[in-house]
Structure 1
Amino acid sequence: MRAACWFVLLSALAAPGRASAQSPITLMPEGSREGLVGVAYGEAWSRRGSNTRQAYVFPMFYMQWSSGAFIEGLSAGWKLSDEPHFQYGPILAVSSRAQGARGSQPTAGGFVQWRVLHDVEFLALTGVGARDGDVKAELALNWINTLDGDHTLVLQAATVKDEARSNRLGARWHWRLGRRHSLMTSVSGIRLAGSSAHAPGVERRSSVAWSAGLLYSF
């Protein structure tokens, strides 16, 4: 999953009812925590701009505490605002492998999450790679449609700058199978932008990525 997916998970899986003693940051009961763990299977580019595709299996993990601290995969951060509809704070992540670099690298930065309307959310993340010093950034707009108590559909438009520049249109569907189990499926159309689309070795500017995963909440 991308670095911003924990925002989508939080929006899609958050329960509407809360206990009376709430944290002003997360609206969770004071001293509580919420978590998700699961596994997903998907298919995407074997590398950015490649004409070949690759199947993969990856673990999914998310944990949030009422204080505002959270962990999602290889990212960790802290929500600092007392306004639930406008959140911001620091984030530390392990970014994806950069072209020409030897492996992944720590990236420190920050995020903003603004619920513009009850079903429209603006997301912004930025950070600087510890090894290459490059700025990584992502801007996304989500439309969150709760179809009923068990089904949530999230549509997203995003632009990303990391080892390459790209634009993305995607959809994510969450289906609550029971009190603790749920199914998450997603599909995204990705297109390289700017100079990244004309970089040496680019065989294909556009691709479609999809994944499906089973989650357990605790």
Structure 2
Amino acid sequence: MMACRFLLAGVLGTALAPACAQLGDASLLPEGSHEVRIGAVLANAPAALGSSKRSTVLLPQFSAEWSNGVFLEGLLLGKQMSTSSQWKYGPLLALGMAAQHGEGDGRTLRPVVGAFLRYRPARELGLQAHVLAPASRAGTGTLLNLSATTQAGLGPHHWLAFGLGANVADRAYMQSDFGSARYRAAGGVRDVFAEARWGWQLTPKVLLQASLHASRLQGDAAASPFTRQRSAVANALAFSYSY
């Protein structure tokens, strides 16, 4: 099932991370069936990209997958259009965060549309690309998220995963989140990130996960007058039950 990363991104204003990178294979679900996971997430993360303020929150977690490829993860809705075990792709609709520079580090929800592509050349390796674009007056432009993940089993019920990636934004997107009338932000690499996740399958239905996500702003995002801290670390502990 999907991890809770988008939920954290939506509420805390951290980087929009692709939850569908951790999707299960819906094509393996019996026709007409579904899988639902509910739980809670305890997280500590920056209040927003570039902010020096931090937030600690306890959030509900909800995700679901259907055999027809539709999936829901917190504030993200999507559909897998492929039944291939190596290739996954499809549309995304979500709620992301927009900056409110006039009010310090404030954030506001905005609709986001996009698409995802995932290629798994080997069982332990996944390559992901996501294109995301705000669909409201709260933001413009396009963000491209690129990442590579690998996962290894530590025993019959434990696993450990690592990932590396970058977010690349065009001029309009960077200006919307980091620019002002006096500061014109150019497009380019917005940030690079690394993450580690550990999972423990306590029972066939109960899963415990811990994650650590570190990122660093680059280019005009780092040089923005609204950026108070280039580097950020977020951590989370999630407990969920599937049925």
Q: What TM-score do you get using the length of structure 2 for normalisation?
A: 0.78
Aligned residues: 205
**Which residue number in structure 1 is paired with residue 19 of structure 2?**
5
**Which residue number in structure 2 is paired with residue 74 of structure 1?**
75
Aligned ranges 1:155-170 → 2 under 5 Å: 155-160=162-167, 161=169, 163=177, 165-170=190-195
Choose between structure 1 and 2: higher helix proportion: 2
Counterpart amino acid of residue 113 in structure 1: R
* Structure 1 residue 100: Cα displacement: 4.3
Question: Which of the numbers 128, 134, 141 marks the counterpart of 2:148?
Answer: 141
SS at 1:97 equivalent: strand
Deviates more, 1:50-59 or 1:99-108: 99-108
Aligned ranges 1:109-148 → 2 under 5 Å: 109-131=114-136, 132-148=139-155
Q: Aligned partners of 1:196 and 1:133: how far apart in 2?
A: 16
**Structure 2 residue ranges without an equivalent (≥5):** 7-16, 179-189
Counterpart amino acid of residue 19 in structure 2: C
Counterpart amino acid of residue 135 in structure 2: A
Q: Could you list the per-position Cα deviations for residues 174-205 of structure 1 after superposition, in whole angstroms to 9, with x for gaps in the alignment?
A: 11111211111100111111111111032221
Contact 1:127 1:135 in 2 (8 A): yes
SS at 2:229 equivalent: coil
Counting aligned pairs with the same residue, the percent is 30
Change (3 A) 1:50 1:82: closer
Does residue 83 (structure 1) correspond to residue 59 (structure 2)? The answer is no
SS at 2:108 equivalent: coil
Question: Which of the numbers 179, 194, 210 marks the counterpart of 2:204?
Answer: 179
Q: Aligned partners of 2:242 and 2:207: how far apart in 1?
A: 8
Counterpart amino acid of residue 226 in structure 2: G
**Which residue number in structure 2 is paired with residue 41 of structure 1?**
42
Contact 1:98 1:104 in 2 (8 A): no
**Structure 1 residue ranges without an equivalent (≥5):** 15-24
Q: Aligned partners of 2:124 and 2:200: how far apart in 1?
A: 18
* Structure 1 residue 7: Cα displacement: 2.6
Counterpart amino acid of residue 112 in structure 2: T
Q: Aligned partners of 1:203 and 1:128: how far apart in 2?
A: 25
**Which residue number in structure 2 is paired with residue 154 of structure 1?**
161
SS at 1:144 equivalent: strand
Q: Could you list the per-position Cα deviations for residues 106-162 of structure 1 after superposition, in whole angstroms to 9, with x for gaps in the alignment?
A: 111111011121110011111221112321221111101122221121101121246
* Structure 1 residue 99: Cα displacement: 4.2
Q: Aligned partners of 2:71 and 2:218: how far apart in 1?
A: 31
SS at 1:197 equivalent: helix
Q: What TM-score do you get using the length of structure 1 for normalisation?
A: 0.86
Deviates more, 1:140-149 or 1:70-79: 140-149
